[in-house]
Structure 1
Amino acid sequence: MQLDANIRRILAQTVNETVVHFPVKMDDGRIEMFTGYRVQHNNVLGPFKGGLRFHPSVQIEEVRALAAWMTWKTAIAGIPFGGAKG
């Protein structure tokens, strides 16, 4: 796909990334720490849209990629939303 270099630079960056660390008390009484991510990729077309992924091995790079995919999916479908994922 032929994209203007300026557009390519804009779409290569995320707008916001949030990383949280939180404790969860497990069934056996021990406390385990978990990490969560929320990436807001682009909101030029409208508010951020994107679901959540719950998996112990998810990494920020994967969440970034999925948020970018959501930006492209909504743009191609003509839906007035931006892309995000958590």
Structure 2
Amino acid sequence: MRHAYRAASRPTKLTSRFRDRASLRRIRFHDLRRSTATLLLKQDVDLVVIKELLGHAPIGIYAHVRLRLQAIRHSQRRPRTG
């Protein structure tokens, strides 16, 4: 029982064992948060909602990503001339 507590107190070590067995690349929790935010932004979820879901205090954390996604969409909508 004591061994299980030690493993639970070190989640990085525990997950790295599973990751190694499954031959997956290393990914940080922060990377998952950023990916989640980006996917939500691509689905036009409101910034306030994303802020609440991810627990960030300032709303501007992902505002720059929203602007970049809007610029990409805008450039894809413009018909090419030539």
Considering the TM-score relative to the shorter chain, is it more than 0.5?
A: no
The structure that is strand-richer by fraction is: 1
Please identify the structure whose Cα radius of gyration is greater: 2
TM-score w.r.t. the length of structure 1 is: 0.29
